[in-house]
Each structure stands twice: as C-alpha cells, then as structure tokens.
Chains A and B, each alone.
Chain A
Amino acid sequence: MSPRAPEDDAAYGAAYGIVLSSRVRLARNLRGLPFPDRAPPEVRAEVRRRVQAAARAALPFQELLADAPPLRRQMLFEDHLISRHLLEDRPEAALCLNEARTQSVMINEEDHLRIQALRPGLALREAWTDADALDDALEAQLDYAFSSSLGYLTSCPTNVGTGMRASAMMHLPGLVLQNEMEAIANGLGKIGLTVRGRWGEGTAALGHMFQVSNQLTLGVAENRILADLEEIVKEIAEHERNARERLKRERRIFVEDLAARARGLLASARLMTAQEALERLSEVRLGIALGLVKGIAMPQVDRLLLEVQPAHLQSAAGRLMGTEERDAARAARLRAELGRRPPAKPKSEKRNP
C-alpha cells in the first residue's frame, strides 16, 4: 500500500465512514415463460442463453454458476455479487458482470433476471441511473413480463411493481453501543423500510454492518422510493455521528479500551474466527473514525473485512482449508498487516548517559 496523507484518510472517512455503499436491484422476468423455480431445465437454459446474449455488450464477463465449484460461488457471495439463493447448486444459474464488477445480472435466481448496480458511498440515485440504463439495454432485446396495474411481474409478490430493492450498507457501531439500534430498526419497519445485518441474521448484526432498504415496491415510483430512502439514510447517518460523538465525550475510556483491545487481538491472536475478526475490525474502524486509533487506515480495514472471510482466505491460499486451519490463516493474515512492528532500537542510552 502506498503511504496515505492524513487528509486522504479524513476524506475517505467522510465519504465512506458510515455509508459504505449503495445498491439498486431490479427483478425482471421474460414474458410468457415460467419463473425459474417452475421452469423445466430446457426453459431455464433458453432463458440463460437469451439473457446472456442480451447482456453480452454491457456485461461481457459471464460465467455459469451451476458448473462453478462451491468455493467460487462462496467467493462471489462474499463479494455481494450473487445472492444466498445462488450459493446452492441451481441449474442454469449464471452471472454476467462488467469489468469494474459494479454492474451485474444474476440469471435464473428467483426471477429470470436480477439486475444490480453498485456505487461506493451514499449514491442511491446514481446506482439507480446505472441499473435503469442497464435495464433499458437488456430490454431492447428482451420481452419483459409487465402488467399496467401490477408493473413488473415477479415470482414473489413482495417484489411486484417496480421490482426494485434499493439499499445502503451502513456501519453503525455508535447506535449499537448506545443501544439505539433496536428503536431505529423498529421505526424503519413502520415507514416501509427494512434494516438487516450485512452478516448474520436480524439485528444481531456482526461487525455493526447493516443494510437499510425499501420494503414496498408497488404504488410508488422509483424516484420517490429512492428519495425517501436517501432521506432516511441521511437521518440515520446523522444519528450515528451523534452517537459516536457522545461515545467519545461521555464514554471515552470505554470506547478507547474497546478499540485498543480489538487492535491488540487482531495484532497478536494465533486463531481467529470470521465472526471475531469482523467484530474486532469493526471496533478498530470505529476507533479510527473517532481518532483514537493511529497507524491503521480505514481503507485497509475495509479491505480486511472482505479478505478475512472464508472463501477469500481459501482463495488467497489456493486451497480448501478446515476450520482451524482457516482460523490460523486468518489470524496470520491479520497479524501480518496489523501486528506490531519489531521495536525500534532502544533510545535509553541517549537519554541516560
């Protein structure tokens, strides 16, 4: 890694410290063909061929997931490029990607097409613009299932209408540590939004990472959904900033201790589970944001959050590993980056001649 100026770190923290990324997903189906769960293999194959051909220009990197080894699928799942649904061996499932891996189409997931666009930071409208353009390009060659009353027709009625799920990935340690997350999650449910953990289920989110998304897809235009979501995401981010400030002001020794212990474990442990790594990295990330941890940059932590996950570790090692072996490799990886450097030459002789 090249050395970073402190102002770069500040800019990174301001842009991605709370909202890491924005995502828009569109569910689409081809007219007159059964949805993937209902379709016989030859229909699924036909759908895959048609969508792959339509996507070739925009998304030239295409792979068949059904043939892919489980580790490859797990890797794509950790990269957020395929859904949990596609971790299973699903016949004729495929993925089409652009070179930057920011735009994609999953084929034969729950719907024939799941179009996705990703943008760093809070950029929901930009992600929508990308997804919308990709949708137009695909539609130039595909005939979508659509009704003038129910909009885009989807396998599950929870997606009907716009077929759009927009989400923001948020790091919210302040709200969790101040015990405010549950109230916020309940409040969001009441205004048609959902919050779920990025890793793990429900609000028992690992590493304080949450995804906030719209729940309703019918009866509201895309721009309205995005504007409402953006407003709420900004509001949550503001609450998070306040919670962090209060932590630093009122519970400074507690939060300092939390970050320092986390750093110590990451720097010295010999075995570390994915869960522990995500939790400790999150605490260090908070420490960096509050200026309590020096010498580690937030982009490095964000990269490690991905690299410590099982498929990434095994992929880097070039082989499959058992649980303990993985925990050892993970700890070694973290130690190599975050471990204390060998102590500098003692200066005591100068001070005490």
Chain B
Amino acid sequence: MLCQNCHQNEATVHLTQIVDGKAEKYHLCEACAEQKGIDVHADPMDLSGMMEKLKNQLEHLKEDLVVERPPAGPATCPACGMTRTEILKKGRLGCDRCYEAFAAEMLPVVVSLQHADQHLGKVPRRASVRMRASVEQARLRRELDQAVAAENYELAAKLRDQIKALPAEGGTP
C-alpha cells in the first residue's frame, strides 16, 4: 500500500484517529508520518505505557481526546501564502494565521504532539477581555472536572458559580 500523503513510498505507519465520533484510518510512509509529528520509532507497547503514566502525572490528559476536525480550509494561507504541502513537509508554520487557515491539518498534529487542545497558561495583558475569560473558563472547567471526579461537590459548586460569573463566551469584550 502506498502512503496516502505523498503517494510515493510504501505506507509503514498505520493509525486510527477518531474524528466526529468516527474512526478514520491513515496509512503513511515513515517520512510523512514524521512530518505530521508522529513518533514513528516509539514502540507501541511503550506508547501505551506512556499514555498511562502521563494520565497519572498530568491530570490534563483526557483519555479519549477527540479531535474535532474543522472543514478543510484553503490550500494556501491567506496571510503569508504558505501552502499546506510546505507546512506538512517542514513541520513549521509560516505565520500566526496559518494555525487558523490550516486548522484541519494542524489541530490533529498539535493534539498528537501535546496530548492537549486547550491552553491553560499565561494570557498576554493586551489580550481582550473575551480571550482572557475564555482561557479562564477552560481552566475553571478543568478544575471543575477534577473536583467532580474527587467528589468534592462544595468546590464544584463554587467553581460553577465562578464560571457563570465570567463574561459570556462569544459576547462583546
């Protein structure tokens, strides 16, 4: 079987990804898989061990992080002109807008590299109120999940109130 990406080399990396609740199979050659940020040299057993440990060590890791794939975007970034092929080949993006333009390609790559899809850290002071609230909400939701899992309902109620008090997502800043 040939690689689905370059259609040149023999596909040696076979993956199943869950998109919109449906399993999609990918067959890639080693070079293309590496470009997509997939660790081709990792032992499969090793990888499951890694997931297990990561889950315990880093609570942020969800068991089945489902990648919601936005519809495929344009072939080039409207801001910097970088093409999809170039990005997948270099593993580097051309500009900040590439993340949006190639969300369909980049989101699965980011998730496979980072085992996460939501920033929970520092927010620039210049960021809009809405952006700050959005990260804050994600952080509180994570804490809420943990509080519920730990059956700490008092804390969970408090966190729910805090989430409600945040400026509405998508509202005016």
Contacts and interface: CB of A to CB of B under 8 A. Distances in A.
Interface in A206-223: 216-222
A162 B135 CA distance: 12
Contacts of B46: 190
A218 B110 contact: yes
B131 A160 contact: no
A218 B116 contact: yes
Contact of B114 (A29, A160, A191): A160
Nearest to A33: B95
A221 B59 CA distance: 12
Contacts of B91: 156-157
B49 interface: yes
B99 A147 contact: yes
Interface in B77-100: 79-80, 82, 90-97, 99-100
A192 interface: yes
Given A148-B135, A191-B57, A228-B58, A38 B82 contact: yes
A222 B106 CA distance: 23
A25 to B, nearest CB: 14
B97 to A, nearest CB: 8
B102 to A, nearest CB: 11
B122 A35 contact: no
A162 B114 contact: no
A144 to B, nearest CB: 5
Contacts of B96: 29, 31-32, 35, 145, 147, 153
A155 B93 contact: yes
Given A38-B82, A147-B119, A192-B58, A217 B50 contact: no
Interface in B43-91: 46, 49-50, 53-54, 57-58, 60-61, 79-80, 82, 90-91
A132 interface: yes
B141 interface: no
Contacts of A145: 95-96
Contact of B57 (A37, A132, A228): A228
A31 B135 CA distance: 19
B2 interface: no
A151 B80 contact: no
Interface string B126-167: 110011001100110000000000000000000000000000
Interface of A: 29, 31-35, 37-38, 110, 132, 135-136, 139-140, 143-153, 155-158, 160-162, 164, 189-192, 216-222, 224, 228
17 contacts: A35-B95, A37-B92, A37-B94, A38-B94, A139-B124, A143-B126, A146-B124, A150-B99, A157-B106, A157-B113, A157-B114, A162-B122, A192-B115, A219-B58, A219-B116, A220-B116, A221-B139
